[in-house]
């Protein structure tokens, strides 16, 4: 079962996960992080940046792989995930730019881009800790309902609901690309530790389906149930539809501190 942690704020969520990432880097200087974009992981990146400011740590060896990228945005587009990762992760955390990878969404080289990305992750020894958000559709990465649990990095079509959700980052809804290149659910499942975060009532039903629903490709988030080490960090609103909430709180309250997440 995934471990479910309910926190009182995004800030607490960020601090909890950042502490775990920090411990990982302290133990393994060339830790491989799986990096999500969107709003959800921002408190983690902010807490990590703060932690490194307060108590500097050599992060020059850290490697990273983004989950996904839009297809067809011009190189340097402000909302391309390459730019977002640079702005929100590489710069504030002081990571080494050429050690942080983002799938290549350029149209000319798209055919081989998925396989190339898989090879790079494999060459790095796999992802140690994968940060994840979840879409209202239940998507992980951009694996929309119906995605195979065995899927690897490839080009996918964004669900209209996901395009609409991401329209907030673009000047007009039309500008949101229709296609993306995303790690597959199979890729994500190979990471050694999955940390899924969700905040707000609009994520509650996707979280309930992922954590407690049947394991089904119709709910990509339910792929977490097939993984041996998953931590789900939620605020009260995102946790609201979970049936076993009391047990999750009880388990967390009684967990030996040395276990970490
Ligand atoms: C981001 C990603 C997506 C987002 C999801 C939630 O790299 O792959 O799965 O995690 O769409 O987005 P936010 O966090 O903006 O609500």
Q: Facing residues of 156 across strands?
A: 180
Q: Where are the alpha helices (DSSP H) in the chain?
A: 10-27, 42-54, 81-85, 91-93, 110-123, 160-166, 185-190, 204-212, 236-239, 245-253
- Band the pLDDT of 219: cuts 50, 70, 90: very high
Find the length of the chain.
261
**What are 141-169's pLDDT values in tens digits?**
999 999 999 999 999 999 999 999 999 99
CATH topology for 3-256 is Rossmann fold (3.40.50)
**What are 94-127's pLDDT values in tens digits?**
999 999 999 999 878 899 999 999 999 999 999 9
Give me the chain's average pLDDT, please.
97
Percentage of residues of the chain with pLDDT beyond 70: 100
Q: Whose CA is nearest to atom 12 of ligand 1?
A: 38
Q: Where are the alpha helices (DSSP H) in 124-235?
A: 160-166, 185-190, 204-212
**What are 184-203's pLDDT values in tens digits?**
999 999 999 999 999 999 99
Answer for the pair 47, 17: CB distance below 8 angstroms, yes or no. yes
User: 91: CA distance to ligand 1 center in Å?
Assistant: 20
- Band the pLDDT of 259: cuts 50, 70, 90: confident
Q: How far apart are CA 259 and CA 80, in angstroms?
A: 37
Residue 40 in contact with ligand 1 by CB distance below 6 A: yes
Residue ranges covered by each domain of the chain: 3-256
pTM of the model: 0.97
pLDDT of residue 108: 83
Q: Whose CA is nearest to atom 9 of ligand 1?
A: 141
């Amino acid at each position: 079962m995934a471990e479910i942690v309910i926190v009182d704020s995004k800030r607490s969520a960020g601090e909890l996960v950042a502490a775990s990432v920090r411990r990982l880097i302290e133990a393994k200087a060339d830790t491989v992080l799986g990096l999500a974009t969107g709003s959800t992981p921002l408190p983690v990146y902010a807490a990590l940046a703060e932690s490194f400011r307060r108590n500097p740590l050599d992060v020059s060896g850290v490697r990273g792989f983004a989950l996904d990228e839009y297809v067809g945005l011009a190189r340097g587009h402000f909302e391309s995930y390459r730019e977002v990762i640079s702005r929100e992760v590489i710069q504030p955390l002081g990571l080494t730019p050429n050690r942080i990878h983002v799938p290549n969404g350029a149209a000319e080289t798209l055919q081989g881009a998925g396989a190339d990305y898989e090879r790079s992750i494999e060459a790095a020894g796999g992802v140690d800790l994968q940060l994840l958000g979840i879409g209202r559709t239940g998507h992980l990465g951009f694996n929309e309902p119906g995605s195979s649990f065995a899927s690897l990095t490839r080009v996918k079509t964004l669900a209209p609901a996901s395009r609409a959700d991401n329209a907030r980052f673009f000047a007009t809804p039309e500008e949101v690309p229709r296609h993306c290149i995303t790690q597959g659910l199979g890729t994500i499942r190979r990471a050694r530790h999955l940390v899924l975060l969700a905040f707000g009532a609009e994520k509650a039903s996707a979280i309930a389906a992922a954590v407690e629903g049947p394991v089904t490709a119709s709910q990509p988030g339910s792929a977490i149930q097939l993984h041996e080490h998953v931590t789900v960090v939620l605020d009260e609103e995102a946790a609201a539809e979970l049936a076993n909430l009391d047990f999750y709180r009880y388990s967390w309250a009684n967990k030996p501190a040395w276990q970490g997440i």
